[in-house]
Amino acid sequence: MAIAPVMTAPLRLRLDGDALVHNWRWLKAAGGSAACGAAVKANGYGLGAVDVTTRLLDAGCRDFFVATWAEAVEVAPLLPEDASLSVFHGVRAADMEAALASRARPVLNTAEQVARWKPTGRACDVMIDTGMNRLGLAPGADLSGLNIHTLMSHLASADQDVVQNGRQLELFRNAAATITAQRYSLANSAGICLGADYHFGLTRPGLALYGGTPRQEAAGQIRPVVAVEAEVLQRRRIEAGESVGYNATFVAHQPMELAILNIGYADGYLRAFSGKGTAGEGRFSIIGRVSMDLIALDVSSAPEVGEGDWIAIDYDLPSAAAVSGLSQYELLTLLGRRFERIWR
């Protein structure tokens, strides 16, 4: 029988499991007496839902959140009996078979979902809309007959100091006073930083677990989890007057040495970094446009860099967001499947 050759990817994510656990523990402590869960939707914000969930379980996390039932299928088998899993998008008619076969709870968002789930008699979570105007039921919705485990809402602007935060808090408090549930939950990563009034019985961090800084209160406390590295495929020299990349957006004013790296917008490193992004802790600038699979770096100052070398892309989430105009959430969740993910 022929043995398949071992394939190695020319781009990789180095993922720091200790930093992930540290971030969860800091968020848990910041949330006071509230239980601290973890949003592991979108494949663990791009890091790998199975790997993230396993590490957070070992750290003591017992409440996990995904977006869809397909994501629940991946995470649910990992969980011990004392852990819970919630599906944010509720339960469509097409989801009922999977939902009834799963240990996960739907987060009911519409009157139709309430009517669909109520006859089962099984536990559920409920999302109350307090001003996000995305998913969720109105605060006065008829929830009679439901076995509600967690009543929750979602803050729209917790990363900013705005009046809306207080309004949402008041609406959620009013709802919690009239709706019986085992637990109540309002705060995401940024909401945890708003203080004890927002914590209730359960917090639901996402971004900050993975190295994002949701508010200034978390700066210096949250550790980076993701390091992006790409391999040099070619070193080349260009002369003054020569252009680089699509549409010749960069023209050299003097001779330069370039390193061509195996990473591009198909991997989530988007064209927003064209002419703005850096690598090697600011030592190397991106030259020309980011392509689907490739970028060019100015390595004129680094004669030692050559084919087969690995270079770290500067990907500190707050800094990269400021440079690119992308959100920290996008920077994480867009990281593609072609990366080899290496945990330590």
Catalytic residue among 28, 41, 184, 329: 41
The yes-or-no answer on residue 315 being catalytic is no
The reported pLDDT for the residue numbered 6 is 61
Query: Mean pLDDT score of the chain, rounded to an integer?
Result: 97
Judge contact between 97 and 112, C-beta under 8 A.
Answer: no
Helical ranges in the chain per DSSP H: 17-30, 41-45, 49-59, 69-75, 96-100, 111-117, 163-178, 189-193, 317-324, 328-333
Mean pLDDT along residues 233-248: 98
Query: Does residue 133 have a pLDDT over 70?
Result: yes
Res. 9 pLDDT band, cuts 50 70 90: confident
Mean pLDDT along residues 1-24: 87
Cα(257)–Cα(236) distance, integer angstroms: 6
CA atoms within a 13 Å half-sphere pointing along the CA-CB vector of 285: 9
- Retrieve residue 142's tokens: 């008829």
Comparing CA positions, the residue from 32, 52, 65 lying closest to residue 211 is 52
Helix axes 17-30, 49-59, angle to 10 degrees: 60
Cα(228)–Cα(214) distance, integer angstroms: 21
Mean pLDDT along residues 32-52: 98
The reported pLDDT for the residue numbered 3 is 73
pLDDT tens track for 161-211: 999 999 999 999 999 999 999 999 999 999 999 999 999 999 999 999 999
Catalytic residue among 28, 184, 246, 269: 246
Look-up: residue for tokens 């967001």? Answer: 321
Beta strand pairing status for 35-36 and 202-203?
parallel
The reported pLDDT for the residue numbered 7 is 65
Give 224's DSSP letter. P
The yes-or-no answer on residue 41 being catalytic is yes
Cα(69)–Cα(102) distance, integer angstroms: 9
The reported pLDDT for the residue numbered 189 is 98
Judge contact between 98 and 69, C-beta under 8 A.
Answer: yes
- Retrieve residue 335's tokens: 């990281």
The reported pLDDT for the residue numbered 215 is 96
Comparing CA positions, the residue from 192, 212, 196 lying closest to residue 204 is 192
pLDDT tens track for 280-339: 999 999 999 999 999 999 999 999 999 999 999 999 999 999 999 999 999 999 999 999
Mean pLDDT along residues 50-58: 98
Judge contact between 262 and 233, C-beta under 8 A.
Answer: yes
Mean pLDDT along residues 3-31: 91
Mean pLDDT along residues 77-89: 98
Res. 8 pLDDT band, cuts 50 70 90: confident
Cα(196)–Cα(74) distance, integer angstroms: 33
Mean pLDDT along residues 251-265: 98
Mean pLDDT along residues 11-23: 98
pTM score of the predicted model: 0.95
CA atoms within a 13 Å half-sphere pointing along the CA-CB vector of 9: 17
Cα(148)–Cα(122) distance, integer angstroms: 9
Look-up: residue for tokens 């359960």? Answer: 202
CA atoms within a 13 Å half-sphere pointing along the CA-CB vector of 256: 22
Comparing CA positions, the residue from 84, 125, 131 lying closest to residue 108 is 125
The reported pLDDT for the residue numbered 216 is 96
Q: Collapsing DSSP states into helix, strand and coil, what is residue 169?
A: helix
Judge contact between 128 and 143, C-beta under 8 A.
Answer: no
Q: Which domains does the chain have, with CATH numbers?
A: 17-215 (3.20.20.10), 226-343 (2.40.37.10)
